[in-house]
Amino acid sequence: MTMRRRGFLGLAAGLSLAGCGYRSVDAVYSQPAGAVPPQYAGRVRIVFWSPYGGVNGKALDGLVAKFNESQDDVYAEVQFQGSYDDVAQKVAAALIAKQAPDLAVLSDVTWERFFLNEALEPLNGYLADSSVYQPKLFGEYVVKGQSWCVPFARSTPILYYNRDAFAAAGLPDRAPRTWSELQSWGPSLAKVQSGGRSLRALAFAKVDGDWQFQGNVWQFGGSYSRGLDVTIAESGAVAAGEWQRSMVHSSKLAYMASSPSTDFANGLVATIQESTGGLKSMTSKAKFRVGAGFIPGEVASGIATGGGGIGMLRNISAERKQAAAAFLGFLARPENAAWWTIQTGYLPVVEAAREVPELQKLIAEQPNYGVAIAQLANARQQDAIRLYGRNANVAIYTGLQQIYADNASPTKVFSAVARRLDAIGDEVRRLYEEKVL
């Protein structure tokens, strides 16, 4: 393992690994602390690191408990580690310490960096039938014919809208078809009072809004990059940024929110772009009827996939790898994949899960759950600079903050962001060209 690769993984995780090897081909790393409970004595223990708390965390705990009761050979222990970024940082730190969980949920912008640095176990030999997975979602983890993660808590943004507010404004009970249509509805929504002020049409995320903006850029005909060649300063992306700037500062119909989902649930904003994975939580918290629809288009359509996949760490024992594969097989059963979708709102990552009666019944009774599934036809993998570039997402959403907060020119902002992204792309270009292209 070269110093450059060690340093890259450390930078990816926000840690300093200079001079510290984190992996050797033959080493077997220990597990994080814990023990097999007495009722499961004699089983092989696997440790699964998760970023899911709240409603989704409870659902995952239930799924793991169901696995542990389903057989006699493996005990799976789920350990909550914080956010997606927290999981990535802690996996990197564990690897330095020559310790590793067996499985970890890695986000759409972290798994690639562990792949580039050979920390992940290739999965083709462990998957009984990879064709059970939804092809688009499974394919995002396939590089040169080999799978490096399996989809699990996968999502896209959907447009949540306040049905009661739309009715009060005299608007159709549906999501707008284009961003221009939403803008035209803004004055009607502004006549609706909420929290002592006019209702805003849309809230933009202060942090991590670059995921939603990835799709917005496509909708306005642009891109973040072509491969690692940065294009965010070109016309389509600038047009998307200018539309959002005008919504905030010219028409006063939108604003930047620390938590758009909280503001939406509290009735302060009429629409937001948010993950399908928050559907159950959003519906339960809101005191009004929640609608869900496709993300609007403009000159084109297109939304970014996101969320987490499960990777197996390479430096674990053969016995632990086989035990971990058994857990992955359990998650790939249609009834279990459907149950996870029902409990959370995440996409069903197994094709046959859509045919499970309980999920079909839920969609019939609550059509919002079917929106993300139908919208998947418009989804695609994100542009490479955001996926493979260390902190590329931070560079982009920091630029968006300047537009939202300071009324900064998107042309100037994205020119500066592009220079930063060019430097970020140069850090990984050799590995990207060697391992991906």
Residues in the chain: 437
- Superfamily name with CATH number, domain 24-154+306-366: Periplasmic binding protein-like II (3.40.190.10)
Helix (H, G, I), strand (E, B) or coil at 189: helix
What is the average per-residue pLDDT within 324-349? 97
Q: 316 near 100, Cβ under 8 Å?
A: yes
**pLDDT score recorded for residue 27:** 87
* pLDDT at 4 (0 to 100): 34
* Mean pLDDT across the chain: 93
Residue 221's SS3 state is coil
| Residues 376, 89: Cα–Cα separation, whole Å | 30
pTM of the model: 0.91
* Residue ranges matching CATH 3.40.190.10 in the chain: 24-154+306-366, 157-304+381-435
pLDDT digits (tens, 9 = 90+) for 195-246: 889 999 999 999 999 999 999 999 999 999 999 999 999 999 999 999 999 9
Q: Give the β-pairing of 379-380 and 303-304.
A: parallel
- Which residues have CB under 8 Å from 3's CB, separation 6+? 18, 19
Enclosing H/E stretch for 47? strand 44-50
Per-residue pLDDT tens digits for 101-144: 999 999 999 999 999 999 999 999 999 999 999 999 999 999 99
Q: Quick one: what percent of the chain has pLDDT higher than 90?
A: 92
Mean pLDDT along residues 337-366: 96
In this predicted structure, the answer to whether residue 407 has a pLDDT above a threshold of 90 is yes
Mean pLDDT to the nearest integer, 247-264: 97
Both tokens of 392, joined, read 């590329």
> Over pLDDT 70: what percentage of the chain?
94
pLDDT at 260: 97
Structure tokens at 160: 């949540």
* pLDDT for residue 420: 98
In words, the CATH class of domain 157-304+381-435 is alpha beta
Q: Quickly state the pLDDT bin for 388 (edges 50, 70, 90).
A: very high
> Higher confidence at residue 194 or residue 171?
171
pLDDT computed for residue 6 by the predictor: 35
Rounded distance, CA 193 to CA 269, Å?
A: 10
Structure-token match 């197994």, residue found:
350
Which residues are CB-neighbours of 33 under 8 A, at least 6 positions away? Answer: none
pLDDT at 195: 83
pLDDT of residue 25: 57
